[in-house]
C-alpha cells in the first residue's frame, strides 16, 4: 500500500495516477484536469491496488528540483533552506519547495554529462515517495520536514552552474585584467561561502530572499539573479558608480562613453593599473573634417559671361547655393561643346565633357532647382537629350548610346543611381562609365551575341544627391576605380539666407530667352563644325601653359608632404585635367565668342543657324584668332594638312580663373568627399574586426595573434583599428598571465 506523506497532504496540490513500476501518468490531460486531490477516492483506490502516483508542478506553487548529481545536492543543501526531500528509485534526489512567480521549467545541463536534472513546474510531474521504480527500488522520504517557500532568484542561484551552456558562457565573460580584483571591490564578509563562490544579498540593490547574487573570485566574475546580469570588475564599478544599472550589465551598456568613464574611475578611484599596450599606430582620427573651411562662393567670371547670366537667372528665383547654378551652367556649356572642343595636349587629347554632382541636404539646399532650370533651358533650346535610365544594365546603356552617342545624364537622384550600380545586374556600370568618360572615338561590346559599336561617345553629367547617400552608397572602390575622381563635387553646408517666392517678371523672361538663344548659337557652331568634320582646337598660350604646369607641380608637392597624400593623388590627377576643361569652357562661354556668333548670323529665324556651317575656313581662323591677341598662326598648329583648324586660344586670364575655382572649391570639396568615403570605409573595417573578435572569442576574449590572423589585414592597419576600438570603448585590451595581449570585445548596445 502507498501512503501520501503528511507533508505533501496539501489541498492545493494535485496528484496523478501512474501504473505500478512506471513513471508515466496514464489519465488524459493529467497536466490540467486529469488529476486529483490527495484525499480523492479514485487516488486512494489506485494506491490501495499498489499503483504509483506523481505530483504535478505548479499547483499550490509546488516546485520540485529533480537532480541526478551529488554536486547539485551539495550546492542546494548549502544554499537553500532545508526542505522535504525524497531519494528516487534511481538514486537521485527530489527537493520539494513552493515558489511564487516561477516562469517555466528549467533543465540542468553539463557540458559532458548532458542533462543532469530539472526544475519541475507547471506541466511536469515527479513520481511521489512510496512509489516503486521499474528497477524495484522505492522512492523514499529522506528529509521529512514541511515544504519551504523560496524565490525564483534563490532557485537560479542554487542551480546556476547547471544553467544552459549558453548561459554558462555568458557568465564566464571574464575581465582578464588582473590588476583589478572583485574581492577588493565587494565585501565578502557579508556573503556566505560555498566552495569557491560567495553568495547572498546583492550588495548594491539588495534582495528580498537574501539570495540573488554570487561572486566567483577565482574567475573574477559576479552574477545577479534578479536581473540575470553579470560581469567582471569593470561592470561592477560601472553599476556602483551609477554609470549603468545592474540590469544593463548584460545588454552591455558598458561601451563608448560609459566604458571610458568607468575605466577612468577604475584607475583613479579603485587603483586599476592602466593597461598600456604599445602600438606604433595612431588611432584613426575622425576630426580631420573639422579642418575643412568652406569657401564663400564668389563669381569670378565677367559680367557678360554665359555662366554669370545663367547664375543671375537662377539666383533671381531661388535661394539655392550659387554653386549649384554654377554647375548647371557648366553642364549646359559642356553639352553645347558637343565633343567638338578638343584640348590638344600630350600624351592625349581631351574633350570638354564635365561631370558635376551637387551634394546637399534634401530640402534646404534646393539643389533640384538648379537641375530643373538646366533641364528647362536645354529642352526649350531644343537640346534636351534623352537620359539613360537609372537602372539600365551596362548593355542597355550601350544600346541606348547606339541611338545617340551624345547624352546628358541628368541625375536628380545620383545616390539612387549609385545604390543601383551596386546591384548585381548592373555590375560594371561604373567602370563602363569611367571608360566612356574619356570620349572614345570607338567603343565595342558584345551584346546578346551581337557586337554593339558606338562611335564618338560624349557623355556629360549633372546630378544631385544628399550627403547620407554619399556615405551610404559610395565605397572606396569608387575612388580607386577612378570613377569619383572624374566627377566635380560641390557640397556646400554654410548657412544662407532664405529667399521668398515671387512672381516672374519680364526681366526674368528676358534673362531666360537670352540664355536659350545663346545656347542655341553655341550648339549651332559645334554642329556646323561637325558637319565639316572639324574641331575647335584648344591651344594654351605659352604663359598659360607655364602657369598650369607650375600649379600642378605645387599641388603635387603639397600632396606628397601632407598625410592624405596617397589617397588624394589619383583624385588630383583627374581633377587637374578638369581644370583645363573648365578654362576652355570659360573661353567658349565668353562674351567675345557670343559677339562673333552674333555677327555671323541673324538668329531671328532658327533655320538661319545653318548659315554658320557655310563659314569659310579662312573665316574660321579669323573668327577665333580675334578672340585672343596672341600671334599663333596656322603654322603653330601643324600636322593637319591643308585644313585650316579653328582655334580656341586659352590665355592667362581664363586659366587663372579656372585654377582659382579648383584651389578654392573643387579640390577642397574633392578632399571632403574622399574623407567621407574613407571614414565610411574605416567604420566598416572597424565593424568587421569587432565582429570577428566577437565570433571567435573564447570565454569572452581573443588573443592578439589569433585576431590578427583572422582579420587578415596589415599589422599596422590592424594596430590602428584595435587602438580605435579601444578608444571608442568597444574593446578592452589587457595582458594575461603569459604576457600575451588579449582583446575583450565589449557588447554592443542593442538597438
Residues 711-740 that bind Zn ion (CB under 5 A): none
Q: Residue 660 and residue 733: Cα distance in Å, rounded?
A: 49
- Of 248 and 719, the one with the shorter C-beta distance to Zn ion is 248
Strands 702-703 and 450-455: unpaired
Q: Which residues, including other chains, have CB under 8 Å from residue 283's CB and lie 6 or more apart?
A: 720, 723, 724, 726, 727
Could you tell me the three cell numbers for 176? 582578464
Positive or negative: CA dihedral 665, 667, 672, 673 = positive
CB under 5 A: which stretch of 216-224, 312-320, 331-339, 616-624 binds Zn ion?
A: 216-224
Q: Residue 66 and residue 77: Cα distance in Å, rounded?
A: 13
Q: How far is the CB of 497 from Zn ion (least distance, A)?
A: 56
CB under 5 A: which stretch of 59-67, 245-253, 306-314, 524-532 binds Zn ion?
A: 245-253
**CA nearest to 646, candidates 669, 683, 612:** 612
The answer to whether 246 contacts Zn ion (rule: CB under 5 A) is yes
- Of 124 and 223, the one with the shorter C-beta distance to Zn ion is 223
- Of 226 and 521, the one with the shorter C-beta distance to Zn ion is 226
- Of 249 and 334, the one with the shorter C-beta distance to Zn ion is 249
The answer to whether 367 contacts Zn ion (rule: CB under 5 A) is no
Residue 632, classed as helix, strand or coil, is coil
- Of 185 and 419, the one with the shorter C-beta distance to Zn ion is 185
Place of cell 542561484: 157
Q: How far is the CB of 276 from Zn ion (least distance, A)?
A: 33
Q: How far is the CB of 229 from Zn ion (least distance, A)?
A: 6
The answer to whether 339 contacts Zn ion (rule: CB under 5 A) is no
Place of cell 564599478: 237
Strands 192-194 and 197-200: antiparallel
CB under 5 A: which stretch of 224-232, 278-286, 309-317, 339-347 binds Zn ion?
A: 224-232
Q: Are 95 and 64 within 8 A, CB to CB?
A: yes
Q: How far is the CB of 226 from Zn ion (least distance, A)?
A: 5
- Of 236 and 661, the one with the shorter C-beta distance to Zn ion is 236
**CA nearest to 150, candidates 159, 140, 139:** 159
Could you tell me the three cell numbers for 631? 600671334
Number of residues engaging Zn ion in binding (CB under 5 A) = 4
- Of 85 and 226, the one with the shorter C-beta distance to Zn ion is 226
Q: Residue 302 and residue 653: Cα distance in Å, rounded?
A: 11
The answer to whether 156 contacts Zn ion (rule: CB under 5 A) is no
**HEC profile of 96-130:** EEECCCCCCCEEEEECCCEEEEEEECECCEEECCC
Residues 7-46 that bind Zn ion (CB under 5 A): none
CB under 5 A: which stretch of 57-65, 225-233, 271-279, 687-695 binds Zn ion?
A: 225-233
CB under 5 A: which stretch of 50-58, 217-225, 311-319, 689-697 binds Zn ion?
A: 217-225
The answer to whether 649 contacts Zn ion (rule: CB under 5 A) is no
Residue 703, classed as helix, strand or coil, is strand
- Of 31 and 151, the one with the shorter C-beta distance to Zn ion is 151
Q: Residue 491 and residue 357: Cα distance in Å, rounded?
A: 9
Q: Residue 534 and residue 645: Cα distance in Å, rounded?
A: 7
Q: How far is the CB of 83 from Zn ion (least distance, A)?
A: 26
Q: Are 338 and 458 within 8 A, CB to CB?
A: yes
- Of 160 and 439, the one with the shorter C-beta distance to Zn ion is 160
Q: Is 229 left (phi over 0), alpha (psi -120 to 50) or beta?
A: beta
- Of 204 and 396, the one with the shorter C-beta distance to Zn ion is 204
Q: How far is the CB of 225 from Zn ion (least distance, A)?
A: 8
Q: Residue 696 and residue 663: Cα distance in Å, rounded?
A: 48
> What's the Rg (C-alpha) of the chain?
41
The answer to whether 305 contacts Zn ion (rule: CB under 5 A) is no
| Triad 598, 534, 624: Cα angle to 5° | 40
The answer to whether 223 contacts Zn ion (rule: CB under 5 A) is no
Q: Residue 674 and residue 478: Cα distance in Å, rounded?
A: 10
CB under 5 A: which stretch of 227-235, 425-433, 630-638, 684-692 binds Zn ion?
A: 227-235
- Of 226 and 255, the one with the shorter C-beta distance to Zn ion is 226
Q: How far is the CB of 9 from Zn ion (least distance, A)?
A: 38
Positive or negative: CA dihedral 588, 591, 597, 603 = positive
Q: How far is the CB of 690 from Zn ion (least distance, A)?
A: 27
CB under 5 A: which stretch of 186-194, 226-234, 394-402, 569-577 binds Zn ion?
A: 226-234
Strands 442-447 and 450-455: antiparallel
Q: How far is the CB of 192 from Zn ion (least distance, A)?
A: 18
CB under 5 A: which stretch of 193-201, 218-226, 493-501, 692-700 binds Zn ion?
A: 218-226
- Of 212 and 352, the one with the shorter C-beta distance to Zn ion is 212
Q: Which residues, including other chains, have CB under 8 Å from residue 337's CB and lie 6 or more apart?
A: 351, 352, 353, 522, 526, 536, 584, 585, 588
Please confirm whether the linkage preceding 347 is cis (ω < 30° from 0). yes
Residue from the set 186, 191, 224, 674 that interacts with Zn ion by CB under 5 A: 224
Residue from the set 14, 124, 223, 226 that interacts with Zn ion by CB under 5 A: 226
Residue from the set 14, 94, 223, 227 that interacts with Zn ion by CB under 5 A: 227
Q: Are 522 and 309 within 8 A, CB to CB?
A: no
Residues near Zn ion, by CB under 5 A: 224, 226-227, 246
Amino acid at each position: 500500500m502507498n501512503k501520501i506523506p503528511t507533508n505533501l497532504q496539501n489541498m492545493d496540490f494535485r496528484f496523478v495516477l501512474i501504473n505500478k513500476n512506471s513513471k508515466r501518468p496514464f489519465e488524459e490531460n493529467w497536466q490540467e484536469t486529469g488529476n486529483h486531490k490527495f484525499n480523492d477516492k479514485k487516488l486512494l483506490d489506485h494506491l490501495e491496488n499498489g499503483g504509483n502516483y506523481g505530483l504535478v508542478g505548479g499547483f499550490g506553487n509546488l516546485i520540485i528540483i529533480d537532480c541526478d548529481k551529488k554536486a547539485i545536492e551539495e550546492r542546494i543543501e548549502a544554499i537553500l533552506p532545508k526542505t522535504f526531500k525524497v531519494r528516487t528509485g534511481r538514486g537521485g534526489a527530489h527537493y520539494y519547495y513552493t515558489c511564487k512567480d516561477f516562469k517555466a521549467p528549467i533543465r540542468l545541463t553539463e557540458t559532458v554529462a548532458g542533462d543532469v536534472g530539472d526544475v519541475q513546474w507547471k506541466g511536469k510531474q515527479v513520481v511521489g515517495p512510496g512509489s516503486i521504480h521499474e528497477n524495484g527500488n522505492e522512492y523514499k522520504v529522506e528529509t521529512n520536514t514541511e515544504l519551504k517557500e523560496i524565490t525564483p532568484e534563490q532557485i537560479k542561484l542554487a542551480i546556476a552552474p547547471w544553467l544552459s551552456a549558453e548561459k554558462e558562457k555568458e557568465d564566464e565573460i571574464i575581465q582578464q585584467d588582473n590588476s583589478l580584483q572583485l574581492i577588493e571591490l565587494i565585501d565578502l564578509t557579508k556573503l556566505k561561502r560555498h566552495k569557491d563562490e560567495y553568495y547572498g544579498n546583492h550588495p548594491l540593490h539588495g534582495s528580498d530572499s537574501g539570495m540573488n547574487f554570487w561572486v566567483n573570485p577565482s574567475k573574477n566574475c559576479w552574477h545577479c539573479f534578479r536581473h540575470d546580469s553579470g560581469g567582471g570588475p569593470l561592470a561592477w564599478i560601472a553599476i556602483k558608480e551609477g554609470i549603468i544599472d545592474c540590469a544593463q550589465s548584460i545588454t552591455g551598456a558598458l561601451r563608448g562613453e560609459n566604458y571610458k568613464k568607468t575605466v577612468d574611475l577604475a584607475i583613479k578611484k579603485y587603483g586599476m593599473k592602466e593597461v598600456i599596450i604599445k602600438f606604433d599606430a595612431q588611432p584613426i582620427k575622425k576630426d580631420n573634417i573639422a579642418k575643412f573651411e568652406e569657401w564663400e562662393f564668389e563669381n569670378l567670371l565677367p559680367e557678360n559671361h554665359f555662366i554669370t547670366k545663367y547664375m543671375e537667372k537662377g539666383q533671381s528665383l531661388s535661394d539655392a547655393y550659387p554653386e549649384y547654378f554654377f554647375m548647371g551652367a557648366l553642364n549646359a556649356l559642356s553639352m553645347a561643346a558637343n565633343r567638338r572642343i578638343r584640348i590638344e595636349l600630350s600624351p592625349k587629347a581631351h574633350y570638354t565633357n564635365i561631370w558635376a554632382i551637387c551634394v546637399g541636404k534634401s530640402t534646404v539646399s534646393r539643389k533640384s532647382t538648379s537641375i530643373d532650370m538646366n533641364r528647362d533651358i536645354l529642352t526649350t533650346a531644343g537640346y534636351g537629350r534623352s537620359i539613360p535610365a537609372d537602372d539600365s544594365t551596362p548593355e542597355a546603356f550601350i544600346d541606348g548610346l547606339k541611338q545617340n552617342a551624345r547624352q546628358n545624364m541628368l541625375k536628380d537622384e545620383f545616390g539612387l543611381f549609385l545604390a543601383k550600380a551596386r546591384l548585381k545586374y548592373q555590375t560594371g556600370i561604373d567602370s563602363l562609365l569611367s571608360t566612356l568618360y574619356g570620349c572614345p572615338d570607338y567603343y565595342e561590346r558584345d551584346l546578346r551575341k551581337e557586337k554593339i559599336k558606338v562611335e564618338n561617345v560624349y557623355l556629360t553629367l549633372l546630378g544631385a544627391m544628399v550627403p547620407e547617400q554619399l556615405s551610404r552608397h559610395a565605397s572606396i572602390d569608387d575612388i580607386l576605380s577612378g570613377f569619383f575622381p572624374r566627377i566635380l563635387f560641390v557640397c556646400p553646408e554654410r548657412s544662407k539666407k532664405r529667399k521668398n517666392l515671387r512672381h516672374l517678371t519680364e526681366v526674368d523672361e528676358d534673362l531666360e530667352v537670352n540664355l536659350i538663344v545663346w545656347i542655341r548659337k553655341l550648339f549651332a557652331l559645334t554642329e556646323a563644325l561637325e558637319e565639316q568634320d572639324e574641331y575647335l582646337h584648344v591651344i594654351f598660350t605659352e604663359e598659360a601653359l607655364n602657369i598650369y604646369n607650375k600649379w600642378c607641380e605645387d599641388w603635387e608637392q603639397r600632396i606628397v608632404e601632407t598625410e592624405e597624400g596617397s589617397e588624394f593623388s589619383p583624385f588630383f590627377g583627374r581633377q587637374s585635367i578638369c581644370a583645363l576643361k573648365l578654362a576652355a569652357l570659360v573661353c567658349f562661354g565668353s562674351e567675345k565668342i557670343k559677339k562673333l556668333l552674333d555677327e555671323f548670323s541673324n538668329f531671328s529665324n532658327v533655320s538661319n543657324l545653318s548659315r554658320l556651317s557655310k563659314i569659310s575656313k579662312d573665316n574660321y581662323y579669323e573668327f577665333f584668332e580675334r578672340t585672343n591677341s596672341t600671334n599663333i598662326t596656322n603654322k603653330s598648329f601643324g600636322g593637319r594638312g591643308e585644313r585650316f583648324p579653328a582655334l580656341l586660344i586659352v590665355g592667362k586670364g581664363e586659366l587663372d580663373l579656372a585654377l582659382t575655382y579648383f584651389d578654392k572649391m573643387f579640390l577642397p570639396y574633392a578632399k571632403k568627399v574622399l574623407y567621407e568615403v574613407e571614414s565610411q570605409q574605416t567604420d566598416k573595417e572597424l565593424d568587421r574586426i569587432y565582429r570577428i573578435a566577437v565570433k571567435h572569442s573564447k570565454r569572452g576574449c581573443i588573443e592578439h595573434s589569433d585576431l590578427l590572423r583572422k582579420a587578415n589585414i596589415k599589422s599596422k592597419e590592424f594596430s590602428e583599428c584595435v587602438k580605435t576600438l579601444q578608444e571608442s570603448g568597444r574593446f578592452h585590451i589587457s595582458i594575461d598571465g603569459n604576457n600575451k595581449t588579449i582583446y575583450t570585445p565589449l557588447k554592443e548596445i542593442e538597438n
